[in-house]
Amino acid sequence: MSIKSNPKIVLVGNPNSGKSSLFNQLTGLNQKVGNFPGVTVDRKVGHCQLDEHARAEIIDLPGLYSLYPKSADEEIVIQSLLDPEHQDYPDVAVVVVDVSNLKRNLLLFTQVRDLGFPTVLALNMVDVATKGGLEVDLEVIKQSFGIQMVPINARTGKGIDDLKHLLGNPLMKECEPFYDMSTSADQVIEAVQNGHHFCNRYRAFQFAMHVDRIPSFQGDTRHKIIDAKYEHQFNEKALQTEDTLGRYKKIGEVIDHALHRRETTTVDWTKRLDSVLTHKVWGYAIFLGVLFLIFQGIFAWASWPMDLIDGVFGATASLLSGLLPSGMLSDLVTEGIIPGLGGILIFIPQIALLFAFIALLEESGYMSRVVFLMDKLMRPFGLNGKSVVPLISGWACAVPAIMAARNIENKRERLITIFVTPFMSCSARLPVYTILIGLVIPETYFLGIFGAQGLVMLGLYTLGVVAALGSAWFLKGRVKDKTRNFLIMEMPTYKWPRWRNVGMTILEKVKAFVLEAGRVILAISIVLWVLATYGPAEDMARAQTEWESQYADQPAISETPEAQAQLASLKLEQSYAGHLGKAIEPTISPLGYDWKIGIALLTSFAAREVFVGSLATLYSVGDSEDELGIRDRLRNEVVPETGEPRYTLALGLSLMVFYAFAMQCMSTLAVTYRETKSIFWPLAQLFFMTGIAYVSALVVYQLLV
């Protein structure tokens, strides 16, 4: 059999087997991440030049432990391996097996092999295991399984060329199954084989097992299989157990011959590290330290590239507005599109840093210890140890954070995690907090070290965490789910992180953010720009006339920035956005807000930090970068009826609490919709969060005013 010039190769293996490292080794930057159709499971595809003739398409399937799936991720693998109509149905299966945990890894391998694909066994970490005192007789393994095998080290790249060479040549296909099912399922297997003559006994057995998971089994074929299962009492649980135990027994016999352990005196670093990292005091102290470091990264280290991006976009906008002929198009570009793009890209440093940390923690093996430490604390809230990662990510941006909830197997725990993650104070709330705190909180210190402003900021972050956990607790009994929740999780040994894998993760997450959130933010920015620039024709004309009459006798002054800013402010008041702001004023006046704040609340829907820019325009501060200018202007704003200052402590705190709780992010709603596949969840998020925000802001304002 000659090899196809572009074969489709799938990588299959246990989690932590080194599958992703191998994928990165084979494809390099030649990869992209998408979604499997209909489900939100990452589909990683790349290309690899095997030799001068053959270029393979490599698909990295999600990690799993057997052909009996427990989560949405794992079902994808079953579909791709069993359904010939599936886009990822492979020509060749490469099963990655970590030799340090050979027995458990071989279960999945023998199952995939018996499906009848040309199968290659990539035996990972042989060199490391040998140093650790494990002797592997490669010849015995090759003979026992009757397949091609390559020892590799996916971390260093050793053996990758051998693997490519092997894949570039015709592969043999073993017909004899490694393990044959007992006769109890024979009638069903025969019934399946009658409809599919090509398939071997084990594949027929798996067809019967997963008939409801395979979309291309429809109509007659499907009914015949289901009828046969019913007629011959095909007991799925019992047969799965038989398959698992039978295979393990035969694998055990192979391993007895193939593996020999030498007594060594190597230090068990994992054991030593665990005694500190999961210690009842040090464990939590170190975890808090890691959280602090992440915080530090997001706030301090990310600030200079963010300022840089901000500066570049500001300069580009003013440069272009000078170059382009003035008019609608120029305004759209310089006031709508460029600030919109800037508003997306400015978050990249924080997102990149956050996922650098998370990737480091995952790669090193520490993340599973965090899950281990936090599981008991999270469970009373209807969450699970694995919810910690999305919640922490929420401090940077809820969009990638919600996507990070995918690895939670239990549906209910995953939904609750997705629902509450936007309560975590994301980085877009920070500019809003900063300006309001500077405005209404005095710079006093308690005991000489605790600044009032810092404490309020800390309080707002705490409020976010409390709201997230509290809402989770509230939802716990209300979200129904029949599936069992459990935490049966491998605790991998500690390893040095591979920088290449960390880099790939950062790239992948930033790309996801720019494409997922970016599109929405850009679209909304443009819509908001239109709403804030245009208004009913007569109102806009009136604003223009009113402004012109003020400067009628001194036209020279009308060219000054102050006068221009005043014009912008008058126009905004008469624009559609201004009308909307006035329309909602009665609703928000109990919170102490006027129509100007109403506009800022509405424009925050693109992204919360737009609040600051909107206020700058509304109060005709010429330069929106001028934070002190905005602050002074807000301080001087008075309530027309009373002459009292508008921005009191009560209003400031009411606004901060509103921003802490309210769902004001279209991108988050869009990503929740995509991840839950239901319009119910984003709508519930919108009304629940905004409802809490409204009530809390009302209480705060009415108590303090």
CB 159 within 8 A of CB 152: yes
Question: Hey, CA dihedral for 440, 442, 445, 446, is it positive or negative?
Answer: negative
Tell me which DSSP letter residue 427 carries. G
Query: Among 6, 184, 240, 321, which residue interacts with another protein (rule: CB under 8 A)?
Result: 240
Site track for another protein across 470-509, x = CB under 8 A: --------------x-xxxxxxxx----------------
Enclosing H/E stretch for 474: helix 452-476
Q: Which of 372/461 has CB closer to another protein?
A: 372
Q: Which of 31/368 has CB closer to another protein?
A: 368
Query: Among 244, 434, 564, 566, which residue interacts with another protein (rule: CB under 8 A)?
Result: 244
CB 546 within 8 A of CB 597: no
375 binds another protein per the rule CB under 8 A: yes
In angstroms, what is the minimal distance from the CB of 372 to another protein? 5
Q: Which of 68/145 has CB closer to another protein?
A: 68
Residue ranges of alpha helices (H) inside 301-410 are: 303-323, 328-331, 338-345, 348-364, 366-378, 388-393, 398-403
Q: Which of 333/491 has CB closer to another protein?
A: 491
Q: Which of 46/365 has CB closer to another protein?
A: 365
Query: Among 17, 368, 575, 668, which residue interacts with another protein (rule: CB under 8 A)?
Result: 368
In angstroms, what is the minimal distance from the CB of 373 to another protein? 6
Contacting range for another protein; rule: CB under 8 A; set: 83-91, 97-105, 314-322, 550-558: 97-105
Q: Which of 154/191 has CB closer to another protein?
A: 154
Residues 6+ apart with CB under 8 A from 685: 419, 422, 663, 668, 669, 672
AA letter at 186: D
Residue ranges in 264-323 that form contacts with another protein under rule CB under 8 A:
270-271, 274-275, 278-280, 283-284
DSSP one-letter string for 595-633: HHHHHHHHHTTT-TTHHHHHHHHHTT-S-TT-HHHHHHH
Site track for another protein across 46-75, x = CB under 8 A: -------------------xx-x-x-----
Q: Which of 380/586 has CB closer to another protein?
A: 380
In angstroms, what is the minimal distance from the CB of 652 to another protein? 39
Q: Which of 65/347 has CB closer to another protein?
A: 65
In angstroms, what is the minimal distance from the CB of 126 to another protein? 15
What 3 state SS string does 158-209 have? ECHHHHHHHHCCCCCCCCCCCCCCCHHHHHHHHHHHHHCCCCCHHHHHHHHH
In angstroms, what is the minimal distance from the CB of 417 to another protein? 18
Q: What dihedral do alpha carbons 317, 320, 322, 328 form, nearest 10°?
A: -90
Q: Which of 187/270 has CB closer to another protein?
A: 270
Distance, CA of 425 to CA of 461 (rounded, Å)? 6
Tell me which DSSP letter residue 642 carries. T
Query: Among 175, 245, 552, 556, which residue interacts with another protein (rule: CB under 8 A)?
Result: 245
248 binds another protein per the rule CB under 8 A: yes
Site track for another protein across 141-180, x = CB under 8 A: ----------------------------------------
CB 465 within 8 A of CB 374: no
Q: Which of 11/102 has CB closer to another protein?
A: 102
AA letter at 516: E
> φ and ψ at 33, to 5 degrees?
-110, 125
Residue ranges in 601-660 that form contacts with another protein under rule CB under 8 A:
none
107 binds another protein per the rule CB under 8 A: yes
Query: Among 197, 198, 218, 237, which residue interacts with another protein (rule: CB under 8 A)?
Result: 237
Distance, CA of 571 to CA of 535 (rounded, Å)? 8
In angstroms, what is the minimal distance from the CB of 177 to another protein? 19
Around Cβ 689, how many Cβ atoms within 10 Å? 23
In angstroms, what is the minimal distance from the CB of 638 to another protein? 55
Query: Among 293, 377, 638, 679, which residue interacts with another protein (rule: CB under 8 A)?
Result: 377
Distance, CA of 313 to CA of 321 (rounded, Å)? 12
Q: How far is CA 185 from the centre of its chain?
A: 42
Query: Among 40, 101, 566, 690, which residue interacts with another protein (rule: CB under 8 A)?
Result: 101
Residues 6+ apart with CB under 8 A from 151: 123, 126, 127, 138, 159
Reduce the DSSP state of residue 43 to 3 states and report it: strand
What residues make contact with another protein under the rule CB under 8 A?
65-66, 68, 70, 100-104, 107, 237, 240-241, 244-245, 248, 270-271, 274-275, 278-280, 283-284, 368, 371-373, 375-377, 385, 484, 486-493
